[in-house]
Amino acid sequence: MTDQSQELFAAVDSLLAAVDDGTVLPLPAERVRLREAAGLTRAALAQALGVRVPSIEAWEAGRAEPKGERREAYRRLLEGLAQRHPTPVPPPGRPATPAEPLSVPSVQTAGGAATAPPTAPPAHDTPHTLTPVARRQAWPTEAAPVAGSRFPNGPLAVLDADGTAYCQGGVLLECPAATIPQLADWALKESGLGAGRLHRHGKDSDPLIVLTTQTAARFGLPLALDDRRALRLADNHPVVRELARAKWKLTRRGFGPWARVYRPAEGGRRQCVQLAVLPWDALDTRTWGSAGQLPAPELAQVLGDYATRVITPRGSAAVCGLELMTALRPPTRPVKDPATDTWTSGPNPGALTEAVDPAPPEAPDEHPVVTARYPRGHQRTPAEVLDEEAFEWIRDPEQLTDDECAKQFAVGVDVNMAFAAAVNRLTVGLGAPVHASRPRFDKKAPGSWLVDLSHIDLDPRLPNPFTPHGLRPEGPAWYATPTVAYATELGYGITPLEAWLRPESGSYLDGWYTRLRDAYLATMERLGVSAGMNEADFLAAMEHHKDADPAQAAVLSAIKATVKGGIGKLRERPQGAGYRPGERWPALERPTWRPDIRAAVIATARVNMHRKMLKLAAIGLFPIAVLSDCAVYLSDGPTPPDFLPRTPEGKPLPGGFRLGVSPGMVKHEGTQSLMWAVKMLDEGHNPARHIKGTDAAADGE
């Protein structure tokens, strides 16, 4: 007997066993018929079985199956209804309708491949859509596609070389496309893919099709891009010419790892498809880890979870972070013109509605407002440029006390989602800057201030909060509003020399923070770390949380990268060897190119960090190193509870570092010996960068 015969016989034996065990269910269409014949609503079934209505919809559409005791209860219900409402007998003279066969769950062949008996798709299915009997679902999802929605098959699909499209929730589709233009047509007209808008004035997310290495080759795409600088196919490539002949267009970035294929809108509906080409490194390993190597069903679930919690991927994590801002706060909204009684597009209050040039100190060196003001090669001073960056500071080892040198360990704590926490309730400017001479400082006015903070004398055992390097400023310098506000909070008088202020302001990023916070917490919960854990349980769960579910760990990494990348993208620098300083670059034409907002976020994160360290310093605890959102302290024990102070009641010190999963709370970053830390300081290295044995700056926090 051949290996193939053995596999086939094993599959048949498994199929017979599934039928014999009495737990198979009627086909989806029969489930619907029985419920409707009994006059029952989906809501009534959901209440009786203890599930949500979408679960009943999924069972009746064949996109999901009940498990365990619920499966048995559902089968018992259907059997009872079948006895009361048997299949109708056709009238004389009309051919009898064959009795519907039972649906059979997918089985594993000896080789491990999922198989199922062929079934005819229900009449209501779109062409080339498989009833998903033979699906492989690696884990349950809280966001399985909902039957009857505009996008019943979820936001995206991972397309395999055999034409099977794997969607979120285990849904399988059959894609007959043989060319990229046909694939775009199928994605828009037949796939049922996409995602609803995140704001009522926004746009639906375009369907995303992910191409595996084998699939890319099937469509005539090379396995690597020859143009490694531009990262795009040549304009004369056959695939690009095929798209042009079929009247499809490409965006300015061309056909690269993330290609957007579109036609002009028809009837107010977008005609746009996003393609991600895996062999071209569409999924950056620094963001997604090894997710790009996952089998298609599992990758579809990973990307689907990210799409459901954050946004449908459409580029790098930085691009997604920026696109999420626009999706949650669209620049325009419908406005009725009283003169013509028609609807037109108008600015959306509270959003970034148009591209504006930055104030001179806010602009990077390449920007035209800088090159027009200073001669070529001029090195701007702190009094000429805004330099709001994260901390990178180490303490002079000569300042270590005898008590500190008696400690055994150096312990690092890291603030969760520090930049996201800084965004929460942050007021930012919405329009163009306005110059002011000798203004009175107003902490509610977002902008940039030229002020001298060098007179403020602070303990040298803490980093100075007014500079990224943590050293005392030497004279007047430009600062974002949060930094100057912190100086007044510390009780010092402030006399600005000049300012660039934005009269129109608002909490533009509040919704962005909320969505990313919820995505982060939901993913951490999937990894076994939840809010409300006591400190011991939290520390234990964090020890191995990334190993609990590598797929969800990839989602977590992408969420963190979305935060940092999105903030960084607010000041995107020019790219390409052909750029010359003083020329404008494409990013400047975006309403979301706002270096002043980036500066305000980073300044807030740095101030938040210093405020917590100052609370600990008040009781004699000083860090030896700080890198962005990680601070290293000397301790008698190897864990954060061994040095973090508590009140007499045993609670964490108010205003200090507090262990927990929520953004703004801290986790254990790593522990090393005292001698290791002192050696790092003596050599001028930052212990916070290496406290966990790797480069902390690359962690994406």
Q: For 405-437, how does the pLDDT look when each residue is reduced to its tens digit (9 = 90+)?
A: 999 999 999 999 999 999 999 999 999 999 999
Residue 63: burial class (beta carbons within 10 Å; 0-12, 13-18, 19+): buried
pLDDT of residue 266: 79
Tell me the C-alpha distance between 567 and 509, whole Å: 10
Give me the amino acid identity at 421.
Answer: A
Contact 114, 107 (CB under 8 A): yes
Through-space distance between the first and last CA atoms of the chain, rounded to whole angstroms: 56
Would you tell me how many other CB atoms lie within 10 Å of the CB of residue 681? 21
Tell me the C-alpha distance between 423 and 511, whole Å: 10
Which residue, among 343, 424, 321, has the nearest Cα to 662 in the 3D structure? 424
> pTM for the complete prediction?
0.80
Full 3-state SS string of 458-481:
CCCCCCCCCCCCCCCCCCEEEEEH
Tell me the C-alpha distance between 208 and 519, whole Å: 20
Task: Give exposure, 474-484, as e/b (b: 16+ Cβ within 10 Å).
Answer: eebbbbbbbbb
pLDDT of residue 29: 86
Tell me the C-alpha distance between 16 and 22, whole Å: 11
pLDDT of residue 178: 95
Q: What tokens does 378 get? A: 């001029």
pLDDT of residue 62: 81
pLDDT of residue 337: 85
Contact 554, 290 (CB under 8 A): yes
Tell me the C-alpha distance between 586 and 371, whole Å: 17
Residue 226: burial class (beta carbons within 10 Å; 0-12, 13-18, 19+): exposed
Strand order from edge to edge, sheet including 172-174: 172-174, 164-167, 156-159, 208-211, 269-277, 258-266, 249-250
Which residue, among 585, 601, 599, 604, has the nearest Cα to 355 in the 3D structure? 585
Q: CA quadruple 418, 424, 425, 431: dihedral positive or negative?
A: positive
DSSP letter, residue 224: S
> Which regions in the chain score pLDDT beneath 70?
1-23, 88-148, 694-701
Contact 145, 154 (CB under 8 A): yes
pLDDT of residue 694: 59
Contact 569, 321 (CB under 8 A): yes
pLDDT of residue 22: 53
